[in-house]
Amino acid sequence: MNVAVPKLQHHFEDIPKQAHAARLGMWLFLGSEALFFSGLFTFYAGYRAHHPEIFRLGVAHNDLVLGTVNTFILLTGSLLISLALWALRAGHRTLAVLLTACTALAGVVYLVVKGAEWGRHMSEGIFPGGRGDFFVENPEPAWAVFYTAYYGITGFHAIHVTVGVCILGWTAWWMHRERVGPAAAYKLAIVSLYWHFVDIVWLFLWPLFYLLRNPA
């Protein structure tokens, strides 16, 4: 049963045009977001060029397994939300709600793993701004900027994941409550675009903070 058809706002001719505007708006917003992260990548690249050896050692000090598990979790989430979109378009609303909720759950698992990782760093005495025992044992200044960058960049990303989890949860509930049908699938498509974006950003952070660890 596909009851709900999206409401046509007064300034649009028809639903396809309204959907087109919503998609375009999301793409533009994500383009803007990409520039936000590009600033962070510039920052990382600049400092890595200044301190190549310590950045390499810092990456090697991070837990490759946890980072890779998180990559796997986020990629699974992206697959689930794509399946949810397919399900909604095919008219299987309950399945779509379930898959969207699972995607949100994957986001939560990601955050738990990330939090555990931060907790482990803190127990080693690594805090942002070069504070903590770790920096007494490793006094070279570059260690401080590496870990401040690590907390800062993964922190900004985690904020985006948190926002994504909230939006996914809300969308799942909305699809259920409004008995949303295929005609409104474009709204889920927009949410999925955002989630894919968060995922893609992580695909850049994964090498920067976990993989680039071998001597040149």
Partner 1 sequence: MKNYLNAETTIWSWLSTKDHKRIGVMFLVSVTLFLLVGGIFALILRLEHLTPGPTIVSPNMYNQLFTLHGVVMVWLFLIPAIPAGFGNFFLPIMLGAKDVAFPRLNLASLYIFWVGALVMIYGILDRAADTGWTFYPPYTSVTYTKATPVLLGVFILGWSTIITGVNFITTIHTLRAKGMRFMDMPLFAWALYGASIIQLIGTPVLGLILLMIVMDHGFDWGLFDPARGGDPLIFQHIFWFYSHPAVYIMILPPMGVVSEVVATMAHKNPLSYKAIAYSTFGIAFVGFLTWGHHMFTSGMSEFNAGIFGILSMSVAVFSAIKVFTWTGTLYKGSVWIRTPLVYVFSFLFLFIFGGMTGVAVAATSLDVHWHDTYFVVAHFHFIMVGASLTAFLAALHYWWPKITGRMYFEGWGVAGAILVLLGFVGTFFPLFLVGNGGMPRRYYHYSEQFQALNVLATAGSWVLALGLLLILVTLIWSLYAGEKAPPNPWHSRSYEWMTPSPPPKENFPETPHFVRGPYDYHLPLEPP
State which of residues 5, 8, 21, 60 lies at the interface with partner 1 (CB under 8 A): 21
State which of residues 2, 5, 31, 124 lies at the interface with partner 1 (CB under 8 A): 31
Q: How far is the CB of 126 from partner 1 (least distance, A)?
A: 13
Q: How far is the CB of 160 from partner 1 (least distance, A)?
A: 12
Segment near partner 1 (CB under 8 A); pick from 21-29, 70-78, 163-171, 184-192 = 21-29
When asked if residue 50 is in the footprint of partner 1 (CB under 8 A), the reply is yes
| Secondary structure in 3-state letters for the chain | CCCECCCCCCCCCCHHHHHHHHHHHHHHHHHHHHHHHHHHHHHHHHHHHHCHHHHHHHHHHCCHHHHHHHHHHHHHHHHHHHHHHHHHHCCCHHHHHHHHHHHHHHHHHHHHHHHHHHHHHHHCCCECCCECCHHHHCCCHHHHHHHHHHHHHHHHHHHHHHHHHHHHHHHHHHHHHCCECHHHHHHHHHHHHHHHHHHHHHHHHHHHHHHCCCCC
When asked if residue 53 is in the footprint of partner 1 (CB under 8 A), the reply is no
Nearer to partner 1, 69 or 193 (CB): 193
Q: Beta-carbon neighbour count of residue 93 at 10 Å?
A: 21
When asked if residue 118 is in the footprint of partner 1 (CB under 8 A), the reply is no
Nearer to partner 1, 33 or 178 (CB): 33
Nearer to partner 1, 37 or 210 (CB): 37
Binding mask 123-162 for partner 1 (x = CB under 8 A): -----xxx---------xxxxxxx-xx--x----------
When asked if residue 11 is in the footprint of partner 1 (CB under 8 A), the reply is yes
Window 69-98: residues binding partner 1 (CB under 8 A):
none
Residue 124 Cα to chain centre, angstroms:
26
Residues that bind partner 1 (CB under 8 A): 9-12, 17, 20-21, 24-25, 28-29, 31-33, 35-36, 38-40, 42-43, 46-47, 50-51, 54, 128-130, 140-146, 148-149, 152
